[in-house]
Each structure stands twice: as C-alpha cells, then as structure tokens.
Amino acid sequence: MNREVNNLKSQLEEQERDADDSLKKYQNHIQNVILLLLLLLFLNKIINYFFEIKYSLDSHRFIDLNNQIDLITIANRILKEKIREMEEKVNYYENAYVDKSVLNKLESKLRDLECKLDLELSHKTRLQVYILKINNF
C-alpha cells in the first residue's frame, strides 16, 4: 500500500507539475494575446493618425482645387466679356465703314463723274464762246 500511495503521490506531483506547466503556458498565451491587442490598438491609432493627416491633406487639396476652379471661372467670364466687346466693335466697324472694294468703286465713279462734269463744263464753255462768236457776226 505504501507503494501505491507513493506511486499515487508521484503521479499527483507529476500532474501538479503538468498543471503548473499548463498554467504557465496559459499565462504566457494570455500575456501574448494582451501584447497583440495592445499592438493592434497602437497600430490602429497610427493608422487613424495617418488617415487624419491624409484626410486633412486631401481636404486642403480639395479646397485648393476649388479655388483654382473659381479663378478659372472668373478668368473665363472676363475673356467672354472681352470677346463680346470685340464682337460689338467688329459689328460697329462693319456697319460704320464701307467695304474697301465698295469704297474704291464709289471713288472711281466719283472721279468718272467729275471728269464728265469737267468735260461738260468745257463743252458748255466752248458752246458759249461759239454762240458769242455767232452773235458777234
């Protein structure tokens, strides 16, 4: 019986050692899990921090792009206004000034008419002189 008691004691001691080993392994696993959770929390904070920075940069970039769009829109309106003014000037000049070819034709007709007038005046003068000569005879 002593032998059996000793044998049971040794089994009990061995089982206690195994239980202690299992408990130590369990505690190590729990510590590892806690460390992993802490690491995950830390990484999550880092990711959130960089996301906030990126979001902040993206929002600044977005605002900058919107400002550029506003400036381009204003420049576009100014250019459209200048185009409208230039079109009005072109229309005015087209209506106010005669086409150069038409002007040349009219000037040519004017010179022709002046020549005809000179010719008629000289013919009239010759006729008057002729009438005077006839009346004097």
Could you tell me which residues come within 8 angstroms of residue 106 by beta carbon, excluding any fewer than 6 positions away?
98
Query: 55-86 pLDDT, tens per residue?
Result: 666 677 777 788 888 888 888 888 888 888 88
Query: 31-46 pLDDT, tens per residue?
Result: 888 888 888 888 888 8
Q: Rounded to two decimals, what is the model's pTM?
A: 0.38
Query: 87-137 pLDDT, tens per residue?
Result: 888 878 777 666 677 777 888 888 888 888 888 888 888 888 888 888 777
- Reading the block at residue 42, the tokens are 């830390």
Rounded to an integer, what distance in angstroms lies between the CA atom of residue 97 and that of residue 103?
A: 9
Taking the domains of the chain in order of start, what are their residue ranges? 2-97, 100-137
Query: 7-34 pLDDT, tens per residue?
Result: 777 887 888 888 888 888 888 888 888 8
Rounded to an integer, what distance in angstroms lies between the CA atom of residue 73 and that of residue 106?
A: 48
Could you tell me which residues come within 8 angstroms of residue 98 by beta carbon, excluding any fewer than 6 positions away?
106
Length of the chain: 137
